[in-house]
Structure 1
Amino acid sequence: MVSTTLERPDKFRIGRVFSNSFAVIGRNPGLLVGLAALFSALPALVLNLWNYRNLANLDFADSESMAVADPSAVLGNSLISMAFGLIYFVLALLFQSSLVRGTIEDLNGKRPAIGDCIQIALRCMFPTLGMGLVVFLTMILALVVTMFVAGMLIPVFGNIIVFIAFIALVVPGIMLFLGISVSVPVLIQERLGVFGSMSRSRALTKGSRWSLFGLLLVLFLAAIVIQMAFALLFGFTFAITGSLSTVGLVVGAIGSALVSTVVSTLMSVAIAVSYVELRQVKEGTGVDELAEIFA
């Protein structure tokens, strides 16, 4: 495998990130399928089967039976769903971490090994979880502050001013998210810890955040289109039949798991490629130098 290192790029380019991302995917189908099956597709399938099973058990034609559902059963199902969701979240972080390792190894001209990718992901699991928790709490705090400010402004200024204030609060939030968007690759590759990785990410993305916004916007819109197409197909089938057969349940769960896995794979690889691109733009660092940390 030949390293993709060329001369230092002049700026972060979305087209080059997409090109390198699809090149990484094309060179490592076996690795990606193995990691996706272990960390994404199978867990998503289990979660989807559970959620679709609960959906199939609801009799939408009988509103009375839905209204008098056993509270203890509802609580039990909710707790199980939360547990499944938490496990899925942890595995999704491991999936991203393992793909980051594999992507950088590939761009370094090496053939990434699935065992090495899993080992690095497990080694960084707790810092990655800590970073996810920090980001989640930051988002919750930002939402609470936004709602509080909106609640105070509506009686005084009306809805138009509140909308303008909301936009004024959202834009900095987007910039903050873009600033830490390559924190996981930094954490995996440079081992700087949670807050050190987030600070390093902000430094790397400075000056390239609007380009990153364009990249993530394209990925986000593509993900929405794919997921909405599947959801509409599944919902249309459910609306026609009024219920789900076992076969329909399994097919729907498999399809949804595959869709989410494809989206997660492309997102994770693109973020890892963006990290390499940003290092080359900001520091002129070749991808061959990135692996020296692991030497």
Structure 2
Amino acid sequence: MGAILGDDTARYLFNATQVRTPLPLTRGQKVDFVPGADLQATEIFALQAVAPPTWAGQSVSRGGQFDLGRVIQRTFTTIRENAAIFFGAATVMVGAPSAVMGLGQSTVVTDGGAAGFLTMAAGWVFYLAGLYMVQGMVVKAAINGFNGKTTSFSQAFDVGVKMFLPLLGLAIIAGLGTGLASLALIVPGVIVAVMWSVASPAVVVEQRSIFESLQRSRDLTRGYRWNVFGLMVIYVILSWIIGAAVGALGLATGGGFFDGSPNLWVNVASDVVVNILSAVVASAGVAALYYELRTVKEGAGPEALAAIFD
């Protein structure tokens, strides 16, 4: 038997059967674990006491500096390396429901009948389900990719199905919290969004509960929130650029920047492309950010993260 002093200052008891790493645990060593009932520690992983393995030819030292460029590079590198899985899943689970929503919306505008509302509602439900399944799949494949491992579509899909409900619940709680913080001023809402920015990988990778994942995200982002905010600004600007490109397409087909395109299929296709890109880039970006924060704060290399899936 042993005891672990958690970041919440509570003492968690454990036995050797819960240790998931071949490294011997020594007094004072940092570990990662999943808190269980009655202050019991489970799924214990010893964090590396030396520099973690390299990734993509780069070395990352424990306790090093947060590198914004490195996060962006990892984001688009993992997208390139897993393009078939990411875009295949997003096309089916996000793109197709987006097309159904677009057609339903067009029917509502032209006919105003109940069929259009039902079509739009059905598309929205399937879009919501697909979006969070894709998020789980992307995090799974991205973390494995950081460890130099390949991920099959079926392996990623299994994680997406398993993590759908926890991620949906997390999104609802985080959305309510951010919304309430924004009621007073926009700044508190932004702060909350930054603090909770890596809660979803904590759900998928560490298999924590919703509220534990929110607290975990607060702990990981502490001391690096300006960096995280800067990354969020970059992604927002990127989304604006994509939106401007879509607006230009609508203008080229006879519409206007405010009225959109009169061509139904151009509108639907534009929404589908934007939603697919947004789902993939946002999910991969969050996975890369989570990995960077764990590396610079805890020295957890890619092998430690991927081991949770093994």
Q: TM-score range by the shorter chain?
A: 0.7 to 0.9
- What aligned pairs does 1:215-226 form with structure 2 within 5 A after superposition? 215-226=231-242
Displaced runs of 4 or more, over 3 A: 2-5, 52-55, 75-80, 235-240, 242-245
Confirm whether residue 192 of structure 1 aligns to residue 211 of structure 2.
no
Residues 84-132 of structure 1: CA distance to partner in whole angstroms, max 9, x if unpaired? 2233122111111111111111111101111111111111111111111
Instruction: Note the C-alpha offset of 1:23.
Output: 1.2
- Compare relative contact order (CA 8 Å, sep 6+) and give the higher one, 1 or 2: 1
2: distance between equivalents of 1:292 and 1:223?
A: 33
Which residue pairs with 2:66 in the alignment?
Answer: 12
The answer (yes or no) to whether the contact 1:48–1:253 under 8 Å persists in 2 is: yes
**Structure 1 76/49 Cα, relative in aligned 2: closer, same or farther at 3 Å?**
closer
The answer (yes or no) to whether the contact 1:3–1:110 under 8 Å persists in 2 is: no
Confirm whether residue 127 of structure 1 aligns to residue 181 of structure 2.
no
2: distance between equivalents of 1:53 and 1:244?
A: 16
Confirm whether residue 294 of structure 1 aligns to residue 305 of structure 2.
no
Which residue pairs with 1:153 in the alignment?
Answer: none
2: distance between equivalents of 1:172 and 1:23?
A: 33
Which residue pairs with 1:106 in the alignment?
Answer: 145
- What aligned pairs does 1:6-155 form with structure 2 within 5 A after superposition? 6-8=59-61, 10-55=64-109, 57=110, 73=113, 77-143=116-182, 145-146=183-184
Q: CA RMSD in A?
A: 2.5
Q: Pick from 267, 288, 304: which aligns with 1:273? A: 288
Identity %: 28
Gaps of 5+ in 2: 1-53
Which residue pairs with 1:63 in the alignment?
Answer: none
Which structure dedicates a bigger proportion of its chain to helix?
1
Residues 1-34 of structure 1: CA distance to partner in whole angstroms, max 9, x if unpaired? x954733261221100111111112212222222
SS at match of 2:308: helix
The answer (yes or no) to whether the contact 2:260–2:267 under 8 Å persists in 1 is: no
The answer (yes or no) to whether the contact 1:103–1:269 under 8 Å persists in 2 is: yes
Q: Pick from 264, 273, 283: which aligns with 2:298? A: 283
1: distance between equivalents of 2:260 and 2:190?
A: 41
2: distance between equivalents of 1:221 and 1:102?
A: 26
Residues 138-187 of structure 1: CA distance to partner in whole angstroms, max 9, x if unpaired? 234334x42xxxxxxxxxxxxxxxxxxxxxx3222211111110111110
The aligned amino acid for 1:215 is: L
Which residue pairs with 2:193 in the alignment?
Answer: 177
The aligned amino acid for 1:7 is: V
SS at match of 2:65: coil
**Structure 1 271/43 Cα, relative in aligned 2: closer, same or farther at 3 Å?**
same
How many residues end up aligned between the 2 structures? 253
Gaps of 5+ in 1: 59-69, 147-168
Residues 252-271 of structure 1: CA distance to partner in whole angstroms, max 9, x if unpaired? 31232112211221111111
**Structure 1 231/194 Cα, relative in aligned 2: closer, same or farther at 3 Å?**
same
